């Protein structure tokens, strides 16, 4: 393989050490390049293959990742093998991008640096897609991802008697993981109907192994007496007498209202991409109906609209962990080729074909677990949509009615939704649904919140970047 | 086969910032017909993203008549636009960091004496007592108790809504891409959607006013500037005043929710329309903020931003009639300080349309000032007789 010419040294930076970032780094290293890999987490693996802190490392991969153990192992092993050949910066949050440099906050030393890049692979992954329900701010309510992180990372369950609610493949997976770990799963409440899943079966069979896993989780949960309800409409999370903790959930099953006691709730509606960095980098966004979201556009190889910036993994559209690995490698090959390095074009084409094929499967998933499109219609006025700023659905509707807000940034300006610490990362999806419903527009028309630095809050006294750290750690 | 709509009206306004929208509102109150075209959303540019300082203190004396007029409008904000826009006469305190600063604040008080700003000089000892939260670099300052702050995100769109309620026809997402004068009146076009004909035209397009002025033969050195803004997470309430610093650098205020809004330094333009905070400016702002208010040391920035403002070399706006085209009036180039005086600038523009003159002195803002030198040269060339040089 050809090394890059020394006259144009490639100094690529990868943001994110999940499956996409790890495979991208591996491909770069294989071509003689030493990339910088920056990740907010303290250990590589990303969301799905998140590794517990070393103090908890006694649990086996099998316990932690189940069916994913082999893949998790593979990603971790690949990363560990790269460790000496990359400039790895864990615990490092990229909070800003400007003029060919990233501003990075290193948590443990509480220091900042400015990291230059010649090319950038953005592999920032995803977080839960949240559509709140009254009572969701009670202690004891977690997102599905949060519930899973507690289990994988902290080695604890969110409660003794847990209800999982929402939709998406993660719903059954997390319920299964909890039940296997010995927690009592009181019920799984799925807003999609089992008929949806049946109708989607042909498309989902494009990934028979993944499909089989899903079927297995459901069957396992049933066999172990976990109540599974489809086609539900969550009504509210019930609090105890003092409203100080979760005491149960109420939902509508199509015929009547039902309730169930529990001491914790995990909920979520699949995932949403972390796109702020791509936004700050100036990438062009478009509405992707498959993902029901505005996403940075990329070509089949992962090139964004900005020269030298590549997008891979869930951060550019939720496609799952396997796709993230392929997309990471593919983006790295594109980066190399664009930088004049000879790459295996057959391999690149094969990765593209795999990614392309996955599209059908993804459509199947959407069909099996559709976002409840009528969520906004049923969200009561008093429902808190934005918990940083305590903005309710009613306030949003009133802002539309009285001030004519018909676009997300205007809604934000007038109501403060998305103005808090999370900058709309959590509430943005729900606010867009409410706005679309209240104005009678399709959700793609209401636009998206424009990204602003910092990507996550930064301590004021750390906003001063240290002198350039070019080459540091190399 | 065009679906273009044609409207005839008394006054066409380009730009729905606080200046254009308040002009539209004032015109409607005079019973004059108005069509306003805004390329984006009313109040979404400078007027909606600024720091929210509503201050007269520190303005050049030539702006004070306008600022006083605006002060009265702000005092009636709720009646005028239907919302208080979080406007507070919280006091604006200008900090001195040296004896020289203190002296210049004192001078300003003397210079502005005719305008009844009620400036109160506060010495170091009293300041410590009154504001233990101020960092040690402050050696005193000047308080204008009736100056204050407001929420621009709410105030500026509300001016446009009020104008609309008063009968102005407002077209958002309608960019004016052609202006002309056919000898009888003005003609504006927004793509294939809309054509507006009116005998009078207000150029209130903010940082983008230059090309319109230039079209009418009045090229002025208008440049874009991009002040940097940042906001912290909410912290326990400790400060009522809006703070500024003599000599500039940083300004900050605390909103009811507890967040600190800070400004200072220059951002970067992403393109002609959009800007963003700059990393070095954020760093400088952060350092200054902690020096000014040590309690902020442990706070977090949650958001930074900037905007695009029209700047003129003498930091004074152009406000007044065109020198070439009857019926054309300019109101732009507020150079980072147009939020407070914007509503008064709007009223002045309306008066100019109706009466041909304004009851508030605006001579200093005449567009003539950019042509005076050229005009003198032309005169001199035309008239060969030697002119006596004035001392
Ligand atoms: C909580 C959660 C649990 C999941 N569990 C499963 C599961 O059990 N099974 C399954 O099939 N799929 C799961 N998924 C989906 C799965 O995460 C993805 O398909 C896969 O991990 C995508 O890989 P990726 O490399 O694109 O991103 P990720 O694995 O998400 O990795 C992205 C990395 O980027 C880092 N990062 C993001 N922004 C920044 C920044 N600004 N600065 C520095 N670092 C940054 C993150 O810390 C993270 O380590 C889960 C997703 C989430 C959010
Ligand atoms: C970050 C920042 C902080 C500031 N802080 C303060 C402060 O604390 N106090 C203070 O007094 N002032 C402050 N200012 C200045 C103040 O915001 C401006 O002077 C004032 O808002 C200018 O108002 P405007 O109506 O002239 O301009 P704008 O608000 O920019 O309005 C002009 C409008 O014209 C529209 N437009 C442009 N071209 C066209 C076209 N061809 N067709 C249709 N529409 C068009 C634009 O979209 C825009 O909405 C600040 C400015 C900024 C940017």
CB contact at 8 A, B332 and B222: yes
Strand pairing class (B11-14; B34-37): parallel
CB contact at 8 A, A190 and A168: no
Query: Is B229 a pocket residue for ligand 2 (Cβ < 6 Å)?
Result: yes
Quick one: which atom of ligand 2 is closest to the CA of B306? 1
Pocket of ligand 1 from Cβ distances under 6 Å: A 15-21, 38-41, 46-48, 93-94, 123-127, 145, 148-149, 170, 173, 271, 274, 277, 313-315, 320-321, 324, 455
CB contact at 8 A, A314 and A126: yes
Contacts of A134 (CB under 8 A, 6+ apart): A235, A236, A237, A380, A382, A383
Compute the average pLDDT of residues B350-364.
98
Q: Would you call B206 exposed, middle or buried from its count of C-beta atoms within 10 A (0-12, 13-18, 19+)? A: buried
Is the per-residue pLDDT at B286 higher than 50? yes
Cβ A420–B268 below 8 Å, yes or no?
A: no
Rounded to the nearest 10°, the torsion over CA B137, B141, B144, B150 is -10
Helices and strands of chain B, counted as H and E runs: 11, 24
Q: What is the greatest pairwise CA distance in chain A? A: 71
Compute the average pLDDT of residues A92-109.
95
CB contact at 8 A, B262 and A79: no
Extended strands (E) in A276-367: 285-288, 293-296, 309-311
pTM of the prediction? 0.93
CA of A79 to the centre of ligand 1 (A): 15
CA of B47 to the centre of ligand 2 (A): 4
Strand pairing class (A120-122; A13-15): parallel
Phi, psi of A269 (to 5 degrees): -125, 70
The number of residues making up chain A comes to 474
Confidence band of B377 (pLDDT split at 50, 70, 90): low
Q: Which of B276, B294, B298, B299 to mutate to test the interface with A (most CBs of A within 10 A)?
A: B276
- Identify the DSSP state of A67: G
Is the per-residue pLDDT at A30 higher than 60? yes
Confidence band of A195 (pLDDT split at 50, 70, 90): confident
B257 vs A contacts (CB less than 8 Å)? 389
Q: CA quadruple B79, B84, B89, B95: dihedral positive or negative? A: negative
Strand pairing class (A384-386; A391-392): antiparallel
Residue A191, number of CB atoms within 10 A of its CB: 25
Distance between CA atoms of residues A154 and A55, nearest Å: 10
Question: Does the beta carbon of A98 lie under 8 angstroms from any beta carbon of chain B?
Answer: yes
Element of type H or E holding A403: helix A393-403
- Between residues 113 and 152 of chain A, which touch chain B (CB distance below 8 Å)? 114
Cis peptide before A20 (omega within 30 of 0): no
Cβ A460–B296 below 8 Å, yes or no?
A: yes
Distance from CA of B154 to the nearest CA of A (A): 6
What is the Cα Rg of chain A in Å?
22
Cβ B161–A96 below 8 Å, yes or no?
A: no
Task: Give residue B335's region: left, alpha or beta (phi > 0; psi -120 to 50).
Answer: left
CA of A239 to the centre of ligand 1 (A): 31
Contacts of B193 (CB under 8 A, 6+ apart): B3, B4, B5, B174
At what angle are helices B152-165 and A393-403 packed, to 10 degrees? Answer: 40
Tens digits of residue pLDDT in A244-280? 999 999 999 999 999 999 999 999 999 999 999 999 9
Distance between CA atoms of residues A388 and B233, nearest Å: 10
SS3 B49: helix
Strand pairing class (B242-245; B328-332): unpaired
Cβ B304–A461 below 8 Å, yes or no?
A: no
Q: Among A10-19, A343-352, A457-466, B228-237, which stretch is predicted with the lowest mean pLDDT?
A: A457-466
CB contact at 8 A, A311 and A275: no
Question: Does the beta carbon of A288 lie under 8 angstroms from any beta carbon of chain B?
Answer: no
Amino acid A201: pLDDT: 86
Q: Residue A126 CA: which ligand is closest?
A: 1
Q: Residue B269 CA: which ligand is closest?
A: 2
Compute the average pLDDT of residues B30-59.
98
Amino acid B129: pLDDT: 92
Beta bridge partners of A246: A239
Smallest Cβ–Cβ distance between A453 and the set B41, B158, B304 belongs to B304
Q: Nearest to residue A136, comparing CAs of A263, A244, A265?
A: A265
CB contact at 8 A, A410 and A398: no
Tens digits of residue pLDDT in A405-436? 999 999 999 999 999 999 999 999 999 999 99
Q: And the tokens for A450?
A: 């424009």
Amino acid A45: pLDDT: 86
Element of type H or E holding B229: strand B227-232
Residue nearest to atom 21 of ligand 2 (CA): B47
Residue B326, number of CB atoms within 10 A of its CB: 10
Smallest Cβ–Cβ distance between A460 and the set B276, B277, B290 belongs to B290
Confidence band of A463 (pLDDT split at 50, 70, 90): confident
Distance from CA of B58 to the nearest CA of A (A): 28
- Identify the DSSP state of A317: S
Compute the average pLDDT of residues A318-331.
96
Q: Between A and B, how many CB-CB pairs are < 8 A?
A: 84
Compute the average pLDDT of residues A332-350.
97
Question: Does the beta carbon of A463 lie under 8 angstroms from any beta carbon of chain B?
Answer: yes
Question: Does the beta carbon of B151 lie under 8 angstroms from any beta carbon of chain A?
Answer: no
Amino acid A223: pLDDT: 95
Is the per-residue pLDDT at A69 higher than 80? no
Cβ A464–B287 below 8 Å, yes or no?
A: yes
Distance between CA atoms of residues A274 and A346, nearest Å: 30
Confidence band of B56 (pLDDT split at 50, 70, 90): very high
Cβ A409–B154 below 8 Å, yes or no?
A: no
Amino acid A312: pLDDT: 98
B268 vs A contacts (CB less than 8 Å)? 98-99
Compute the average pLDDT of residues A161-183.
94
Confidence band of B2 (pLDDT split at 50, 70, 90): low
Amino acid B388: pLDDT: 35
Compute the average pLDDT of residues A56-73.
69
Phi, psi of A303 (to 5 degrees): -75, 130
Q: Among B184-198, B207-221, B375-389, which stretch is predicted with the lowest mean pLDDT?
A: B375-389
Amino acid B387: pLDDT: 36
Cβ A413–B302 below 8 Å, yes or no?
A: no
Secondary structure of A256-274 in the HEC alphabet? Answer: CEEEEECCEEEEEECEEEC
CB contact at 8 A, A262 and A186: yes
Is the per-residue pLDDT at B304 higher than 80? yes
Task: Give all strands of the β-sheet with A101-106 in edge-to-edge order.
Answer: A92-98, A101-106, A111-116
Considering chain A, what percentage of its residues have pLDDT values greater than 70? 93
A98 vs B contacts (CB less than 8 Å)? 268, 276, 278-279
Distance between CA atoms of residues A334 and A347, nearest Å: 11
Average of per-residue pLDDT values in chain A: 91
Is the per-residue pLDDT at A474 higher than 60? no
Question: Does the beta carbon of B255 lie under 8 angstroms from any beta carbon of chain A?
Answer: no
Average of per-residue pLDDT values in chain B: 94
CA-based angle A89:A302:A118, to the nearest 5? 50
**End-to-end Cα, chain B, rounded Å:** 65
Quick one: which atom of ligand 1 is closest to the CA of A128? 53
CB contact at 8 A, B342 and B22: yes
Amino acid A53: pLDDT: 67
Ligand 1 pocket test: which of A315, A321, A326, A452 has the largest number of ligand atoms within 8 Å of its C-beta? Answer: A321
Amino acid B283: pLDDT: 94
Compute the average pLDDT of residues B30-49.
98
- Identify the DSSP state of A303: B
Q: Nearest to residue A31, comparing CAs of A93, A85, A81?
A: A85
Amino acid B318: pLDDT: 98
Distance between CA atoms of residues B23 and A147, nearest Å: 55
Cβ A461–B286 below 8 Å, yes or no?
A: yes
Write the CA distances from B11 to B179, B327, B332, integer angstroms.
13, 9, 17
Distance between CA atoms of residues A339 and A323, nearest Å: 24
């Amino acid at each position: 393989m050809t090394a890059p010419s020394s006259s144009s040294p490639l100094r690529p930076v990868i943001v994110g050490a999940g499956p996409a970032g790890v495979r991208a780094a591996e491909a770069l290293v294989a071509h003689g390049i030493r990339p910088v890999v920056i990740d907010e987490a303290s250990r590589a693996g990303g969301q799905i293959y998140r590794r517990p802190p070393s103090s908890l490392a006694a649990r086996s991969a099998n316990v932690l990742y189940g069916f994913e153990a082999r893949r998790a192992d593979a990603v971790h092993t690949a990363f560990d093998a790269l460790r000496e050949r990359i400039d790895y910066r864990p615990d490092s949050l990229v909070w800003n991008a400007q003029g060919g440099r990233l501003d990075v906050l290193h948590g443990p030393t509480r220091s900042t640096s400015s990291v230059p890049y010649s090319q950038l692979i953005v592999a920032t992954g995803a977080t839960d897609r949240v559509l709140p329900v009254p009572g969701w701010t009670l202690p004891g309510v977690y997102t599905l991802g949060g519930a899973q992180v507690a289990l994988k990372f902290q080695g604890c369950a969110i409660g003794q008697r847990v209800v999982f609610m929402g939709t998406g493949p993660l719903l059954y997976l997390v319920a299964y993981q909890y039940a296997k770990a010995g927690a009592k799963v009181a019920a799984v409440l799925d807003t999609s109907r089992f008929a949806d899943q049946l109708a989607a079966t042909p498309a989902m069979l494009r990934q028979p192994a993944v499909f089989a896993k899903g079927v297995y989780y459901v069957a396992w949960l049933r066999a172990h007496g976990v109540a599974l309800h489809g086609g539900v409409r969550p009504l509210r999370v019930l609090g105890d007498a003092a409203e100080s903790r979760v005491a149960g959930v109420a939902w509508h099953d199509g015929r009547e209202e039902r309730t169930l006691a529990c001491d914790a709730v995990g909920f979520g509606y699949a995932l949403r991409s972390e796109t702020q960095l791509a936004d700050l980098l100036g990438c062009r966004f478009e509405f992707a109906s498959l993902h029901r979201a505005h996403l940075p556009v990329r070509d089949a190889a992962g090139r964004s609209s900005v020269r030298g910036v590549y997008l891979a993994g869930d951060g550019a559209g939720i496609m799952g962990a396997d796709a993230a690995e392929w997309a990471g490698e593919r983006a790295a090959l594109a980066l190399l080729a664009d930088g004049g390095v000879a790459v295996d074009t057959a391999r690149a084409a094969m990765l593209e074909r795999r990614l392309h094929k996955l599209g059908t499967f993804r459509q199947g998933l959407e069909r099996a677990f559709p976002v409840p499109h009528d969520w906004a219609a049923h969200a009561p006025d008093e429902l808190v949509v934005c918990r940083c700023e305590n903005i309710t659905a009613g306030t949003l509707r009133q802002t539309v009615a009285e001030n004519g807000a018909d676009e997300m940034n205007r809604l934000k300006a007038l109501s403060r939704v998305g103005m808090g610490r999370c900058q709309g990362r959590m509430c943005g999806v729900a606010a867009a649904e409410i706005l679309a419903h209240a104005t009678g527009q399709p959700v793609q028309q209401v636009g998206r919140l424009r990204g602003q630095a910092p990507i996550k809050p930064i301590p004021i006294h750390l906003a001063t970047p240290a002198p350039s750290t070019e080459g540091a750690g190399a | 086969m065009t679906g273009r709509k044609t409207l005839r009206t008394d006054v066409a306004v380009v730009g729905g910032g606080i200046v254009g929208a308040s002009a539209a509102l004032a015109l409607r109150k005079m019973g004059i017909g108005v069509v306003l075209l805004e390329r984006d959303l009313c109040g979404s540019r400078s007027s909606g993203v600024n720091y929210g300082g509503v201050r007269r203190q520190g303005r050049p004396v030539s702006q004070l008549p306008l600022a006083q007029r605006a002060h009265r409008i702000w005092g009636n904000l709720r009646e005028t636009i239907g919302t208080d826009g979080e406007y507070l006469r919280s006091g604006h305190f200008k900090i001195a960091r040296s004896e020289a600063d203190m002296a210049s604040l004192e001078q300003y008080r003397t210079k502005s004496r005719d305008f009844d700003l009620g400036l109160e000089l506060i010495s170091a000892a009293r300041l410590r007592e009154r504001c233990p939260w101020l960092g040690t670099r402050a050696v005193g300052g000047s308080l204008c108790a009736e100056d204050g702050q407001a929420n621009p995100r709410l105030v500026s769109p509300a001016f446009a809504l009020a104008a609309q309620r008063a009968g102005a026809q407002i077209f958002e997402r309608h960019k004016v891409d052609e202006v002309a004068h056919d000898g009888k009146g003005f003609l504006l076009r927004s793509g294939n959607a809309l054509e507006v004909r009116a005998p009078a035209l207000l150029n209130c397009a903010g940082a983008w006013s230059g090309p319109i002025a230039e079209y009418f033969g009045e090229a002025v050195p208008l440049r874009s500037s991009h002040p940097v803004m940042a906001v912290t997470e909410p912290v326990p309430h400790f400060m009522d005043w809006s703070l500024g610093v003599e000599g500039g650098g940083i300004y900050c205020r605390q909103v009811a929710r507890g967040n600190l809004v800070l400004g200072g330094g220059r951002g970067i333009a992403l393109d002609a329309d959009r800007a963003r905070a700059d990393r070095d400016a954020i760093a400088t702002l952060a350092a200054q903020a902690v020096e000014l208010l040590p309690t902020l040391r442990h706070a977090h920035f949650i958001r930074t931003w900037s905007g695009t403002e029209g700047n003129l070399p003498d930091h004074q706006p152009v406000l007044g009639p065109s020198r070439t085209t009857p019926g054309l009036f300019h109101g732009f180039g507020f150079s980072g300080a147009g939020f407070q005086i914007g509503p008064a600038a709007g009223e002045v523009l309306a008066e100019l349309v109706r009466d041909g003159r304004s009851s508030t002195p605006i001579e200093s803002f005449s567009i003539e000032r950019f042509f005076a030198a050229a005009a003198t040269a032309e005169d001199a060339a035309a008239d060969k007789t030697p002119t006596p040089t004035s001392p």
